[in-house]
A and B are shown apart, each in its own frame.
Chain A
């Protein structure tokens, strides 16, 4: 298929349709509105397709629960304040082991925050999406092409693990236009959805989509079942990218999503000055490629974490390093995007043995 020039949000929406997504439930919020707008045009053209603007994100997440529970592929997208409202539904979805795909085009927070790009929902996505012992697989694209590719994979991963999968972008990825190619995916073998509530005909157990376990032993069992899936994801689904890590480097940058793009410019600029800096970019944020980061850090004296937050992924970086390397952190947030020059300035300090600017 030829490349087309598309906004990140629209590319992601088209990719969802190509992945067999039949339904979308959501509520408008900047900076992801192009996703529901695009799907409100496209889904009615799809056989069995349904676009529905919900009355709230609370309702949207529960509509996802209903649609996923009857076995269909379903998507929602939102940004910080809306994702917070979806917490309830997502916890029930995780508890009931339903596959759904959720896009969060992150904007600055807390509260109403702002509408400009940020990475301040990292904790929420990787640790605190709702109550109870559950996690979701989190994929973080850094280009429009990657956003489209990851959305397609997200539906397969959700089905494979019977779990919500989140695509964590930010306003920059969503709004930016880039050429994108919708690659036809090879079909992944997935187990049939025998658990779906599609009507009881006596040829199987009744399907009950449920997260209630009044017997504590059964509830514990369910939590360990989920945990085993997260462990399997950690074994089989880790994704990361290394840039300029073949040679030697004193500083290894870690960054994800839009920030990683900016850091690639930093690396190119420094290369011209004869300074070699490596980049470790996690693509799965949960599960996090801890070992891969630790290995990449072996050649470095310092690991430098750059985020559009006050330092959230930094926790995972430290967990990965297990104290084996010192870390430095530089963050801009609230919708401020760090410039390559700004980051270069900080790296120069690190190379001189100084502390980076604290804010």
Chain B
């Protein structure tokens, strides 16, 4: 007798996404959907999509959704969660959305200890608008608006959101993972699951940054893009749990 060992999570809509081959968005969507299924929270989960490549995330999950304005997903999530604390609310944001235009909203949501979950896709570029420089773009990285490479003397160093947010005193769960290999994808799932579990327990603000590929705007094949994360990003963006509510922050 055959047994089903791999199937589409219930919380993931049965549609074709518009993501490019090798893009991490699809992987992280699946992980989020698996967590929703495993925790049995589909009927009370509400997502908040950003402006960025994942703007259409509301079509890809079988849950109610908001589409927020650029960078404001944490404010929208705050409004929804404060109005209906029984809902499980998650915001899904890119690095331009969260670390540039939405910097104020994420910092204050984190500092207020809003009890929702933020999934932060850091692919070091503005994917949707065609690969412009982001606040997370690496030193020397060539983008369409940093044609000579990111010059840290002109524009500063890439912003490390986990480090920044974990410096705030308010309790929270803050972790950085990566989607560049099967082993790291499994760890990403663990972190995202932990974040949702903490929200279900009404504990604290929960934030998972996922180092992600954008093969299209990096001008790389998917395998090459995964290698880039490992070789270029990991030394600057260390993985690990930066803060957890009981205080046992551990870097892996």
Report if A and B associate in a common complex: yes
A residues lining the B interface (CB < 8 Å): 22-23, 25, 50, 52, 54-56, 58-60, 62-72, 74, 88-89, 92, 96, 197-202, 206-212
Min Cβ gap B215→A in Å is 23
Q: How far is the CA of A89 from the CA of B76 in the complex (A)?
A: 10
CB-defined A-B contacts under 8 Å, sample of 23: A23-B79, A25-B79, A50-B82, A52-B112, A54-B75, A55-B105, A55-B108, A59-B78, A63-B76, A65-B72, A65-B79, A66-B83, A67-B79, A67-B82, A69-B79, A70-B84, A89-B72, A199-B44, A199-B87, A208-B67, A210-B66, A211-B67, A212-B67
B146 within 8 A of partner (CB): no
Q: How far is the CA of A52 from the CA of B72 in the complex (A)?
A: 16
Interface string of B80-109 (1 = CB under 8 A from A): 111110010000000000000000110110
Give chain B residues whose Cβ lies under 8 Å from the Cβ of A22: 83
Q: Which of A56, A68, A70, A201 gathers most chain B CB within 10 Å? A: A70
Q: How far is the CA of A188 from the CA of B79 in the complex (A)?
A: 26
| CB–CB A200/B69 < 8 A | no
Give chain B residues whose Cβ lies under 8 Å from the Cβ of A56: 104
Chain A minimum-CB-distance residue to B81: A66
| CB–CB A62/B72 < 8 A | yes
Give chain B residues whose Cβ lies under 8 Å from the Cβ of A88: 69, 72
Known A23-B79, A23-B83, A66-B77: A200·B72 in contact at CB below 8 Å? no
| CB–CB B44/A210 < 8 A | no
Q: How far is the CA of A201 from the CA of B43 in the complex (A)?
A: 5
Cβ < 8 Å to A, chain B residues 30-84: 42-46, 48, 55-56, 58, 62-69, 72, 75-84
Min Cβ gap B33→A in Å is 13
| CB–CB A59/B108 < 8 A | yes
Give chain A residues whose Cβ lies under 8 Å from the Cβ of B64: 197-200, 206-208
Q: Which listed residue, A60, A92, A198, touches B69 by the CB 8 Å rule?
A: A92
Min Cβ gap B62→A in Å is 7
Give chain A residues whose Cβ lies under 8 Å from the Cβ of B55: 212
B residues lining the A interface (CB < 8 Å): 42-46, 48, 55-56, 58, 62-69, 72, 75-84, 87, 104-105, 107-108, 112
Min Cβ gap A257→B in Å is 30
Known A66-B80, A67-B79: A199·B65 in contact at CB below 8 Å? no
Q: How far is the CA of A56 from the CA of B109 in the complex (A)?
A: 12
Q: How far is the CA of A89 from the CA of B62 in the complex (A)?
A: 26
Min Cβ gap B61→A in Å is 9
Chain A minimum-CB-distance residue to B82: A50
Q: How far is the CA of A50 from the CA of B80 in the complex (A)?
A: 11
Known A206-B65, A208-B58, A210-B66: A64·B105 in contact at CB below 8 Å? no
Give chain A residues whose Cβ lies under 8 Å from the Cβ of B75: 54, 58-60, 62-63, 65-66
Q: How far is the CA of A20 from the CA of B125 in the complex (A)?
A: 44
| CB–CB A70/B72 < 8 A | no
Q: How far is the CA of A22 from the CA of B83 in the complex (A)?
A: 8
Give chain B residues whose Cβ lies under 8 Å from the Cβ of A70: 46, 79-80, 83-84, 87
| CB–CB A197/B108 < 8 A | no
Min Cβ gap B250→A in Å is 30
| CB–CB A74/B83 < 8 A | yes
Q: How far is the CA of A129 from the CA of B203 in the complex (A)?
A: 38
Q: Which listed residue, B43, B46, B62, B76, touches A62 by the CB 8 Å rule?
A: B76
